[in-house]
């Protein structure tokens, strides 16, 4: 299986001690977001896991603990945008985060670092010229240390629309997307970094930008030296290219508190949940409850020893 840590929360930034404890225990409990008392037990031992995908805005806290994952294949999706604290309320200064990314890349290799510039938001302040200027600056600093860059354009979910009203954002139309894609592509080609989109319908191949997979079976194959075939994740949107994974996060638990975040849709719930976190619990938030029904999650190992031998025939 591929383990996603996590689309729902920045576990590497805020819950590293809990994560290490879960890997030492060999399992984690995950609540079904649509059915609170339906709980999956997910095994975390190497024989079940083909690859881990870490999602974070700030890898600082996990760098010193990477030895805990030495038996696993993994890569990082790291979001670094050009926004200030008016949008990304509790994100550390970007220059400090970039220092952490550089340190991480030097430790594990640039092939395991995917830089995400997403979502692109247009406002009076964060206009086209602003994005072009700061995308160049970020690309200049990050290009030696990342495999590729992933971009997306703001999707206003009903859960986040209330928060986004605070910044007077503009609707992004196709002309906006093509102008941004053209400029970003020119910048990326200068630094020889490929760009892919995340969950975008628009075809930007004219600018050398392909549709991407954040949970990427090709990258998993490369890291494992094993040709794996994994089907699309049916739990994601139709336009999402990601293959199947198991996510161990929980919504309303990320302290970055970014206005555009679809995973934090209630600041009150977020604060309440963080107060329930216990690093020794099998759950990210809270603990076992009387009405919980725990079932072991079925997990499929995609890369076997036999498949690895076939790759070299």
pLDDT tens-place string over residues 254-266: 999 999 998 998 8
Compute the chain's Rg from CA coordinates.
19
pLDDT at residue number 5: 98
| Residue 211 in this model has a pLDDT that exceeds 70 | yes
pLDDT at residue number 161: 75
Residues with Cβ within 8 Å of residue 212, at least 6 apart in sequence:
148, 150, 196, 197, 198, 241
CB count, 10 Å around CB of 229?
9
d(CA 248, CA 243): 16
Q: How many Å from the N-terminal Cα to the C-terminal Cα in the chain? A: 25
CA quadruple 167, 171, 175, 178: dihedral sign: positive
The mean pLDDT of 276-294, rounded to a whole number, is 98
pLDDT tens-place string over residues 25-49: 999 999 999 999 999 999 999 999 9
Residues of the chain above pLDDT 70, percent: 96
- Tokens representing 221? 């194959």
Domain containing 43: what range? 2-311
pLDDT at residue number 304: 66
pLDDT at residue number 195: 98
Residues of the chain above pLDDT 90, percent: 86
pLDDT at residue number 158: 67
Q: With cut-offs at 50, 70 and 90, classify the pLDDT of residue 229.
A: confident
pLDDT at residue number 83: 97
The mean pLDDT of 157-173, rounded to a whole number, is 81
| Residue 313 in this model has a pLDDT that exceeds 50 | no
Find, among 287, 253, 284, 286, the residue nearest to 271 by Cα: 253
Residues with Cβ within 8 Å of residue 136, at least 6 apart in sequence:
187
d(CA 135, CA 117): 8
- Residue 155: exposed, middle, or buried by beta-carbon count in 10 A (0-12, 13-18, 19+)? middle
Distances (CA, A) of 171 to 32, 174, 199, 272: 33, 10, 17, 32
Runs of H (alpha helix) within the chain? 11-14, 16-25, 60-63, 94-108, 128-142, 158-164, 174-190, 217-224, 267-275, 305-311
d(CA 5, CA 152): 20
pLDDT at residue number 309: 36
d(CA 226, CA 285): 35
d(CA 83, CA 270): 22
Distances (CA, A) of 218 to 101, 221, 225: 23, 5, 10
| Residue 308 in this model has a pLDDT that exceeds 50 | no
Sheet strands side by side (includes 74-79): 210-211, 195-197, 148-153, 113-120, 74-79, 51-56, 2-5, 246-247
pLDDT at residue number 305: 53
| Residue 133 in this model has a pLDDT that exceeds 90 | yes
pLDDT at residue number 165: 79
pLDDT at residue number 166: 77
Domain count, the chain: 1
| Residue 241 in this model has a pLDDT that exceeds 60 | yes
| Residue 310 in this model has a pLDDT that exceeds 70 | no
- Tokens representing 76? 């990082």
d(CA 18, CA 14): 9
CB contact at 8 A, 219 and 75: yes
d(CA 211, CA 205): 8
| Residue 57 in this model has a pLDDT that exceeds 80 | yes
pLDDT at residue number 172: 94
What value does the mean pLDDT of the chain take? 94
Q: Report the predicted TM-score, pTM, of the whole model to 2 decimal places.
A: 0.95
d(CA 94, CA 197): 22
């Amino acid at each position: 299986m591929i383990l996603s840590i996590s689309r729902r929360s920045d576990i590497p930034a805020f819950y590293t001690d809990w994560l290490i404890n879960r890997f030492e225990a060999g399992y984690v409990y995950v609540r079904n977001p649509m059915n609170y008392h339906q709980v999956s037990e997910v095994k975390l031992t190497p024989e079940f896991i083909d690859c881990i995908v870490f999602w974070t805005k700030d890898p600082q806290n996990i760098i010193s603990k990477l030895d805990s994952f030495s038996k696993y294949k993994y890569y990082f999706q790291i979001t670094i945008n050009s926004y200030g604290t008016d949008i990304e309320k509790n994100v550390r200064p970007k220059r400090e985060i970039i220092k952490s990314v550089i340190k991480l890349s030097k430790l594990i290799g640039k092939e395991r670092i995917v830089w995400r510039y997403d979502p692109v938001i247009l406002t009076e302040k964060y206009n086209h010229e602003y994005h072009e200027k700061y995308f160049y600056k970020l690309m200049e600093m990050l290009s030696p240390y990342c495999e590729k860059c992933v971009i997306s354009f703001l999707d206003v979910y009903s859960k986040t629309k209330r928060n986004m009203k605070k910044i007077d954002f503009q609707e992004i139309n196709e002309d906006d997307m093509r102008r941004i894609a053209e400029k970003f592509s020119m910048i990326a080609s200068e630094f020889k970094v490929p760009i892919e989109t995340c969950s975008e319908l628009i075809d930007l191949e004219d600018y050398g930008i392909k549709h991407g997979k954040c949970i990427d079976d090709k990258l998993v194959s490369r890291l494992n030296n094993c040709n794996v075939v994994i089907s699309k994740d049916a739990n994601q949107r139709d336009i999402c290219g990601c293959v199947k994974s198991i996510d161990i996060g929980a919504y309303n638990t990320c302290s970055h508190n970014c206005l555009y975040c679809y995973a934090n849709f209630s600041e009150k719930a977020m604060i309440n949940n963080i107060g329930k976190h216990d690093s020794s619990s099998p759950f990210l938030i809270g603990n076992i409850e009387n009405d919980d029904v725990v079932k072991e999650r079925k997990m499929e190992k995609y890369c076997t020893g036999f498949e690895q031998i076939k790759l070299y025939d």
